[in-house]
């Protein structure tokens, strides 16, 4: 394996020998005990059937666990029937737990709302009725473009309640990105808000929707018929009569009761777009029964959830899969009480998260390494001012966590006492796949370690052969799992090509990995053209196509360079069209060019895709067949000596690029 992009070099990881077993006290009370592994190994399908039956309420029981005859499209629990919203809400109320708090909402400006399961039931019932009144029904697609407010959770559940398929689009994506996702899924309704609060000020969302649902450049009308608008900030919004509907008015007009629509286990639950190796985002779609089984199972066992006692907080936005599986479905199906925080960690001060932990007595915290590294930068005095003694389990997700950040997380946030679960999974896997079990595993800083009971993962070489302990290769999943994606929306061939063709018959995750001497798995980052910036997946091709869509750019190459805080950062190399060259000064810095292009990428995709650095170059390193050699560009971006250039069509190119770089580059604001 040559081309991994992880943040911690392999040599350093090999030196990592620390291990932190759970305390005897924690181990004794843990939901998941070591025998879970044996049970799952002895009868994998039986194990999953047991999880499905014990964790979910089915209106019709299933007779077959897994149907793999249509591989690589799995069918789990296929003749069973259920409703996702009923499982997340109604049944808790029916069981007499309606007074339990489901959501402890904290808005960025400091407004709060406590929503019990009984109140949540009334809201989702009204919302489901409102969606039906707009003409929506089973199988219809609904785009959700909202800030992290309770209505986002309600909107998702209301879709599930009527059998409609939600497609949540992160509120930080641009109108263009929203449009392409709406069009691809052919969504007929968008649920949005006037705006949300971001860094102490209201920011608008509705204008992006207005732009996204207008006719496109060719005059093709949008499939969207109705736009439901949540009033969050109270700012003025443009209004299209006949199309736009206030959320609160629609809910008031709907009945307080609604019967959830019974669906088959394989009924689509949601589509979520994620970046792949080509310019066009992939609509990953998940179905109902298997997805709910595995999200509930992992949430209960990996976080050791005790629903009556714990206050759980996953800091992810619902725009990402972590928000789907570990803010909405996993916790609510398990009847958890959880914090939902709208804002950023540093508003109005850098201790905001720790203040929230102390205020609500958060016991389980699930976040991303990039956040932890940011807190490390801000210093331990900040969390030191708050009482964090309620915390008992800490989780990490989204990218490899470097051992230093892991140790800091445990020592400063976890008082040297809490287990840490480093959870590896993907939008495609739907739920956690590789992670320690907090009451069982002696955790190693920086390693996700072992596949969960019921999951089969391997590290293989180029020939798909498992590598021996101590060696590196590619991470694959060798057996189907309940929450696996069922495909890419509208493009079955792309599903097969992307995940099942590199190693025929097994799922290729796109990640490099290594097994240590104990056989524990260490994730090393993506081996394809997908970057991981602050735990968000971005595709090099998507940003390149955004860049070349600007009239001044002739050609662009994008790489992910290591970054201390964000894991990777977007670095773009661009060749300008001749008529724009005069805008670039002699040193090749072209500050105004960089600013213009960064703004353009923000408009095309969203601020998260904005390059940290843009370098104007005259040439790009290419192989004789014309493929851009990103490996060499990454060497340049990471200030390393440039590697082997013998396959370059013109080997002097790298010298020219490196020369241009000796001057400070046009960098981030």
Q: Which is nearer to ligand WTA, 56 or 448 (CB)?
A: 448
Name the β-bridge partners of 264.
Answer: 81
Residue 445-464 contact track with ligand WTA, rule CB under 6 A, x = bound:
---x----------------
Q: If DSSP codes are grouped into helix, strand and coil, which group holds residue 495? A: helix
Token readout for 348 is 């109005």
Are 15 and 521 a contacting pair, CB within 8 Å? Answer: no
| Distance between CA atoms of residues 477 and 246, nearest Å | 45
Tell me the closest approach of the beta carbon of residue 475 to ligand WTA, in angstroms. 8
Q: Which is nearer to ligand WTA, 343 or 395 (CB)?
A: 395
Q: Where are the alpha helices (DSSP H) in 265-336?
A: 289-302, 321-323, 330-333
- Considering only residues 545 through 604, tell me which ones interact with ligand WTA, judged by CB under 6 A: none
Smallest gap from residue 183 Cβ to ligand WTA (A): 22
Closest listed residue to residue 538, CA positions, set 445, 454, 604, 633: 604
Stretch that binds ligand WTA, among 112-120, 163-171, 354-362, 508-516 (CB under 6 A): 508-516
Nearer to ligand WTA, 19 or 645 (CB): 19
Shortest distance (Å) from residue 9 CB to ligand WTA: 15
Determine which residue in the list 324, 526, 600, 622 makes contact with ligand WTA, applying CB under 6 A. Answer: 526
Place of tokens 């180029």: 462
Contact 311, 337 (CB under 8 A): yes
Contact 308, 99 (CB under 8 A): no
* Residue 1 tokens, joined: 């394996």
Which residue in the set 8, 51, 427, 441 belongs to the binding site for ligand WTA (CB under 6 A)?
Answer: 427
Nearer to ligand WTA, 321 or 633 (CB): 321
Residue 340, CA atoms < 13 Å, CB-side half-sphere: 29
Give 342 or 422: the residue with its C-beta nearer to ligand WTA.
422
Q: Show Cβ contacts of residue 622 under 8 Å, excluding neighbours closer than 6 positions.
A: 628, 629, 648, 649, 650, 653
3-state secondary structure 221-257: CCCCCEEEEECCCCCCCCCCCCCEEEHHHHHHHCCCC
Q: Which is nearer to ligand WTA, 206 or 537 (CB)?
A: 537
Minimum CB separation of residue 655 from ligand WTA in Å reads 33
**Min separation Cβ 500 and ligand WTA, Å:** 16
Give whichever of 124 and 527 is closer to ligand WTA, judged by the CB atom. Answer: 527
What is the smallest separation between the CB atom of 399 and ligand WTA, expressed in angstroms?
Answer: 5
Contact between 423 and 29 under an 8 Å Cβ cutoff? The reply is no
Q: Minimal distance in Å, beta carbon 608 to ligand WTA?
A: 12
**Nearest Cα to Cα of residue 84 among 242, 249, 268:** 268
Binding residue for ligand WTA (CB under 6 A) from 353, 425, 503, 507?
A: 425
Dist. CA 66–CA 45, nearest whole Å: 7
Report the C-alpha gap between 106 and 358 in whole angstroms: 13
**Identity of the residue, 319 or 621, whose beta carbon is nearer to ligand WTA in the bound complex:** 319
Between CA 59 and CA 289 the distance in angstroms is 12
Q: Which DSSP helix (H) or strand (E) runs through 191?
A: strand 189-193
For helices 150-162 and 117-133, what crossing angle results, to 10°? 60
Q: Smallest distance from the beta carbon of 577 to ligand WTA, in angstroms?
A: 34
Q: Which of 465, 461, 485, 463 is nearest to 473 (CA)?
A: 461
Least distance to ligand WTA, CB of residue 524, Å? 8
Nearest CB to ligand WTA, comparing residues 446 and 611: 446
Residue 556 backbone dihedrals phi, psi, to 5 degrees:
-145, 145
Closer to ligand WTA by Cβ: residue 487 or 588: 487
The widest CA-to-CA distance across the chain, in whole angstroms, is: 74
Q: Residue 299 Cβ, how far from ligand WTA at the closest point, in Å?
A: 13
Least spacing, CB of residue 606 vs ligand WTA, in Å: 15
Decide: 542 and 281 in contact? Cβ < 8 Å. Answer: yes
Which residues, other chains included, contact 570 with Cβ-Cβ below 8 Å and sequence gap of 6+?
531, 533, 538, 543, 558, 560, 609, 610, 611, 612, 613
Q: Is the Cβ of residue 77 or residue 320 nearer to ligand WTA in the bound state?
A: 320
The 8-class DSSP code of residue 466 comes to B
Interacting residue with ligand WTA among 403, 445, 510, 621 (CB under 6 A): 510
343 or 398: CB nearest ligand WTA: 398
Span 271-290, contacts to ligand WTA by CB under 6 A: 274
Say if strands 364-367 and 393-397 run parallel, antiparallel, or are unpaired: parallel
DSSP string, 556-609: EEEEEEEETTTEEEEEEEEEE-GGGGGGS-TTS--HHHHHHHHHHHHHHT-GGG
Q: Is 364 in the site for ligand WTA (CB under 6 A)?
A: no
Rounded least distance, CB 236 to ligand WTA, Å: 35
Instruction: Please select the residue that binds ligand WTA; options are 511, 563, 589, 604, rule is CB under 6 A.
Output: 511
Q: How far apart are CA 552 and CA 185, in angstroms?
A: 32
Nearer to ligand WTA, 276 or 335 (CB): 276
Of 366 and 375, CB closest to ligand WTA: 366
- CB of 381: closest distance to ligand WTA in angstroms? 28
CB of 325 to ligand WTA, least distance (A): 8
Window 300-339: residues binding ligand WTA (CB under 6 A) = 320-322
Question: Which residue in 4, 131, 1, 3 sits closest to 400, CA to CA?
Answer: 4
State the CB neighbour count (10 A cutoff) for residue 620.
18
Contact track, ligand WTA, 231-270, x by CB under 6 A = ----------------------------------------
3-state secondary structure of 22: coil
**Residue 606 interacts with ligand WTA (CB under 6 A): yes or no:** no
In the bound state with ligand WTA, the residue whose beta carbon lies nearer, of 422 and 589, is 422
Of 66, 127, 460, 523, the one binding ligand WTA (CB under 6 A) is 523
- Residue 369 or 383: the one with the smaller Cβ distance to ligand WTA is 369
Nearest approach, Cβ of 539 to ligand WTA (angstroms)? 12
Q: Rule CB under 6 A: is residue 532 a binding residue for ligand WTA?
A: yes
Q: Is 7 or 337 the residue whose CB approaches ligand WTA more closely?
A: 7
Could you tell me the two tokens for 530? 């997908």
Structure tokens at 463: 């020939």
String marking each residue 385-424 x if it binds ligand WTA according to CB under 6 A = ------------xxxx---------------------xxx
Among 166, 537, 550, 600, binds ligand WTA (CB under 6 A): 537
# of chain residues touching ligand WTA (CB under 6 A): 22
- Is-contact 133 262, C-beta < 8 A? no
- Please state, in angstroms and rounded to a whole number, the distance separating the CA atoms of residues 440 and 421: 11
CA 257 remoteness from chain centre: 33
Q: Considering the complex, what minimum distance in angstroms separates the CB of residue 512 from ligand WTA?
A: 9
**Least distance CB 6 / ligand WTA (angstroms):** 8
Binding site for ligand WTA (CB under 6 A): 274, 320-322, 397-400, 422-427, 448, 509-511, 523, 526, 532, 537
């Amino acid at each position: 394996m040559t081309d991994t992009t992880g943040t911690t070099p392999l040599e350093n990881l090999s030196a990592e020998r620390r291990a932190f077993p759970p305390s005897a006290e924690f181990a004794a009370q843990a939901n998941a005990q070591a025998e879970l592994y044996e049970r799952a190994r002895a009868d994998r399908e039986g194990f999953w059937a047991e999880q499905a039956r014990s964790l979910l309420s089915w209106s019709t029981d299933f007779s077959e666990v897994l149907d793999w005859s249509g591989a690589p499209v799995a069918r789990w629990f296929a003749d069973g029937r259920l409703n996702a919203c009923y499982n997340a809400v109604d049944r808790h109320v029916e069981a007499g737990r309606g007074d339990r708090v489901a959501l402890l909402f904290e808005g960025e400006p400091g407004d709060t709302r406590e929503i019990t399961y009984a109140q949540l039931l009334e809201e989702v019932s009204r919302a489901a009725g409102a969606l039906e009144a707009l003409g929506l029904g089973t199988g219809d697609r609904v785009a959700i473009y909202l800030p992290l407010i309770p209505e986002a959770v309600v909107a998702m559940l209301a879709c599930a309640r009527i059998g409609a398929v939600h497609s949540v689009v992160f509120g930080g994506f641009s109108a263009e990105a929203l449009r392409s996702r709406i069009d691809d899924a052919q969504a007929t309704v968008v649920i949005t808000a006037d705006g949300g609060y971001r860094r102490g000020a209201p920011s608008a969302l509705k204008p992006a929707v207005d732009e996204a649902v207008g006719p496109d450049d060719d005059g093709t009308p949008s499939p969207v018929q109705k736009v439901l608008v949540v009033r969050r900030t109270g700012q003025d919004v443009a209004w299209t009569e006949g199309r736009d509907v206030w959320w609160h008015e629609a809910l008031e007009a709907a009945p307080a009761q609604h019967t959830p629509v019974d669906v088959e286990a394989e009924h689509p639950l949601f589509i979520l777009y994620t970046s792949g190796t080509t310019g066009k985002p992939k609509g990953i779609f998940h179905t109902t029964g298997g997805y709910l089984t595995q999200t509930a199972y992992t949430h209960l066992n990996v976080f050791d959830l005790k629903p009556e006692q714990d206050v759980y907080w996953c800091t992810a936005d619902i725009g990402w899969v972590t928000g789907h599986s570990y803010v909405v479905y996993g916790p609510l199906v398990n009847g958890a009480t959880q914090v939902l925080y709208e804002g950023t960690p540093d508003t109005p001060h850098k201790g905001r998260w720790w203040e929230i932990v102390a205020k609500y007595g958060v016991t389980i915290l699930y976040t991303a390494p990039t956040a932890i590294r940011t807190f490390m930068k801000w210093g331990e005095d900040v969390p030191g001012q708050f009482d964090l003694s309620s915390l008992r389990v800490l989780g990490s997700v989204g990218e490899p966590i470097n051992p230093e950040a892991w140790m800091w997380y445990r020592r400063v946030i976890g008082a040297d006492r809490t287990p840490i679960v480093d959870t590896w999974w993907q939008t495609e896997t739907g739920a956690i796949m590789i992670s320690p079990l907090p009451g069982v595993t002696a955790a190693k800083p920086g390693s996700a370690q072992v596949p969960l009971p019921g999951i089969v993962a391997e590290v293989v070489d180029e020939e798909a052969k498992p590598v021996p302990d101590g060696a590196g290769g590619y991470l694959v999943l060798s057996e189907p799992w309940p929450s696996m994606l069922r495909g890419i929306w509208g493009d079955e061939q792309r599903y097969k090509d992307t995940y099942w063709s590199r190693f025929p018959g097994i799922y290729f995750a796109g990640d490099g990995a290594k097994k240590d001497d104990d056989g524990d798995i260490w994730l090393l980052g993506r081996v394809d053209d997908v970057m991981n910036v602050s735990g968000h997946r971005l595709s090099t091709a998507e940003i390149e196509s955004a860049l070349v869509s600007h009239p001044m750019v002739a050609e662009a190459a994008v790489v992910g360079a290591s970054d201390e805080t964000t894991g990777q950062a977007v670095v773009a190399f661009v060749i300008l069209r001749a008529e724009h060259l005069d805008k670039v000064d002699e040193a090749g810095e072209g500050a105004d060019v960089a600013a213009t292009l960064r703004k353009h990428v923000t408009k095309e995709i969203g601020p998260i895709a904005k390059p940290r650095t843009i370098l104007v170059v005259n040439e790009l390193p290419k192989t004789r067949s014309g493929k851009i050699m990103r490996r060499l560009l990454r060497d340049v971006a990471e200030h390393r000596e440039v590697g082997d250039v013998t396959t370059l069509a013109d080997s002097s190119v790298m010298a020219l690029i490196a020369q241009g770089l000796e001057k400070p580059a046009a960098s981030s604001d």
